Amino acid sequence: MEDYIDQISKYFETVPLWPFLLFGIIALVAVAVEIVNRKRREEAINNFRHTIETELASMYPRHIRWPENVNQYLCSRLPEMQHNFDVLRIFIPQDQLRSYNMAWNAYCDFCRNITDEICAANEQSTNTQSDSDAKMVSAGNNENDPKKRFHKLVSDLLAFTKI
């Protein structure tokens, strides 16, 4: 065993130390970059969540009120959300990127296509149904209910912000 230790110590005496120093510096830089990227990812997640919580406060997570001119209300908030979406996209793993983009596209399509008429028609149809009919059609109605669909779309987007 002592022969091995002598051999290793003689090796380090004859070999220049600059490669080890270089590898050590590279390792320190790699660790520093990883720490910075983790902080940037956490900040991107917090910004995305904060944007949703402030811009859509009356609609998500608990529905307080549905705004007048819902299309204009949602579309006016899309640019800031788009910016935070793009920043967060950098940190989404490649295998989840397609579903992240699809969730965002579905949300944007909903924001552009929702109208007050659709909301009013849905509210009117749910108010006119009897209790027995409501139980039978409730599963199909969940898909058409803009409030429930909006809640699902935002929840799908926020699913990617889990740390």
Distance CA 108, CA 76 (A): 11
Flag whether 3 is in a domain: no
Query: How far is the C-alpha of 84 from the C-alpha of 120, rounded, in Å?
Result: 31
Give the pLDDT of residue 67: 85
Tell me how many domains the chain contains.
1
pTM for the full model?
A: 0.77
The model's pLDDT over 53-103, given as tens digits with 9 standing for 90+, comes to 999 988 888 888 888 888 899 999 999 999 999 999 999 999 999 999 999
Q: Would you say residue 122 lies in a domain?
A: yes
In a domain, residue 10? The reply is no
**4 domain-assigned:** no
Task: Look at residue 157 and tell me if it is in a domain.
Answer: yes
Domain of residue 33: give its range: 18-161
Residue 13 scores a pLDDT above 80: yes
Residue 111 within any structural domain of the chain: yes
- The 3-state secondary structure of the chain, one letter per residue: CHHHHHHHHHHHHHCCCHHHHHHHHHHHHHHHHHHHHHHHHHHHHHHHHHHHHHHCCCCCCCCCCCCCCHHHHHHHHHHHHHHHHHHHHCCCCHHHHHHHHHHHHHHHHHHHHCCHHHHHHHHHHHHHCCHHHHHHHHHHHHHHCHHHHHHHHHHHHHHHHCC
* Distance in angstroms (rounded) separating the CA atoms of residues 12 and 10: 5
Instruction: Indicate whether 69 belongs to any domain.
Output: yes
- Look at residue 13 and tell me if it is in a domain: no
Considering the chain, what is the average pLDDT of its residues?
A: 88
Look at 44 and 118; give whichever has higher pLDDT.
44
User: What's the pLDDT at 151?
Assistant: 93
